[in-house]
């Protein structure tokens, strides 16, 4: 029964109503919907935009499902016009769409996402992840190791869940079993230390290598979804900078609606507007480099005039609040890992008994 507020923002020459997230909103669904809204491939009901300024979660699900069907119109071709290979391919797409629509409601409670650390597009394949493919929306993360490092050698193509499983299996091994092969024991022990250090040092789930990879992988003006710390955000690459759409309801009254993603430590800036301008040819619209960053970092904050202080205070407070949320999400993941370790240890104890 959730209802979400709307916020109208300027984007590439038009006003777009994006969907804001409350404290426990379904961020995967909202991130997907906002990508489609900014692409101008879906529209919200006029009553929602012009009257209530809110939208019901079931309306969002229906709009996304309808778009999924429209985006794959080739599946509606009459069978008598298809050859055997085309028919098999279209039947597979139809089946995938049907499966995806049936699991769309899972986006309301979260998505089972298991990143791998070699590239920013690498995730374990699940039904939920397949939804992004069917909607033609790229899913990225920035949790990547240095390809020349020791982490790369011992982690390879393993996923996050596989790393946690390996650590747990190591911890619950009996001492006698560990001593059976001293040589193998030494290598396993070193790998576990490397894995633990990597997970601890990159607990923010964003690395410098990840930022570089995102810059390389994302196309100019691409809209996609970014995963970090169990949260999904709308990400936009504009003039070689990465920007995250700020959809928390606490940002509703702020003029700024984007946050630049330039620093793994969170020392980012807020952005205001992306706009098109006519470069003298109506058939050749280009993106204009308008002044857009408000510069609300702590260093720039000191140089602002008195009239801007209230805005800066509010922006800085929201940034600190966001950092607290990220810290809380990291602690929640650590607690989830500890619970999983305890469950496996109890299970092993029962098996020995």
Name the residues annotated as catalytic: 27, 231
C-alpha distances in Å from residue 76, one per residue of 80, 89, 232: 12, 12, 32
Residue 159: strand pairing partners = 116
Q: Where are the beta strands (DSSP E) in 145-253?
A: 223-228, 231-238, 241-245
The answer to whether the CB of 67 falls within 8 A of the CB of 36 is: yes
Contacts of 78 (CB under 8 A, 6+ apart): none
Rounded CA gap, 292 and 271, in Å? 5
Q: How far is CA 20 from the centre of its chain?
A: 15
Residue 233: strand pairing partners = 226
In order, the DSSP letters of 38-106 are: HHTS----HHIIIII-EEEHHHHHHHHHHHHHHTTGGGGS-GGGS-HHHHHHHHHHHHHHHHHHHHGGG
């Amino acid at each position: 029964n959730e209802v979400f507020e709307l916020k109208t923002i300027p984007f590439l020459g038009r006003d777009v109503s994006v969907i804001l997230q409350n404290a426990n909103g379904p961020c995967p669904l909202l991130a997907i919907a906002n990508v489609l809204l900014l692409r101008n491939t879906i529209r919200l009901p006029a009553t929602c935009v012009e009257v209530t300024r809110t939208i019901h979660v079931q309306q969002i699900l229906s709009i996304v499902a309808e778009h999924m069907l429209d985006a794959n119109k080739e599946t509606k071709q009459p069978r008598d016009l298809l050859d055997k290979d085309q028919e098999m391919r279209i039947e597979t797409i139809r089946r995938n769409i049907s499966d995806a629509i049936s699991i769309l409601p899972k986006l309301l409670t979260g998505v089972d996402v298991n990143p791998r650390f070699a590239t920013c597009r690498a995730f374990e394949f699940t039904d939920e992840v397949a939804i992004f493919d069917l909607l033609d929306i790229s899913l990225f993360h920035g949790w990547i190791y240095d390809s020349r490092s020791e982490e790369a050698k011992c982690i390879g193509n393993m996923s996050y869940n596989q790393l946690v499983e390996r650590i747990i299996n190591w911890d619950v091994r009996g001492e006698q079993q560990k001593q059976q092969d001293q040589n193998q024991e030494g290598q396993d022990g070193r790998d576990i230390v490397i894995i633990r250090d990597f997970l601890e040092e990159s607990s923010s789930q964003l690395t410098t290598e990840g930022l570089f990879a995102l810059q390389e992988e994302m196309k100019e003006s691409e809209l996609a979804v970014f995963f970090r710390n169990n949260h999904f955000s709308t990400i936009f690459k504009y003039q070689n900078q990465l920007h995250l759409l700020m959809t928390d309801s606490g940002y509703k009254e702020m003029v700024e609606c984007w946050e630049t993603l330039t620093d793994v430590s969170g020392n980012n800036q807020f952005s205001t507007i992306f706009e098109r301008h006519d470069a003298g040819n109506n058939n050749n619209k280009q993106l204009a480099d308008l002044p857009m960053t408000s510069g609300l970092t702590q260093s720039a904050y000191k140089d602002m005039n008195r009239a801007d202080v209230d805005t800066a205070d509010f922006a800085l407070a929201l940034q600190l609040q966001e950092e607290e949320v990220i810290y809380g999400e990291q602690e929640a993941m650590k607690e989830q890992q500890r619970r999983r370790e305890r469950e496996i240890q109890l299970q092993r104890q029962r098996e020995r008994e």
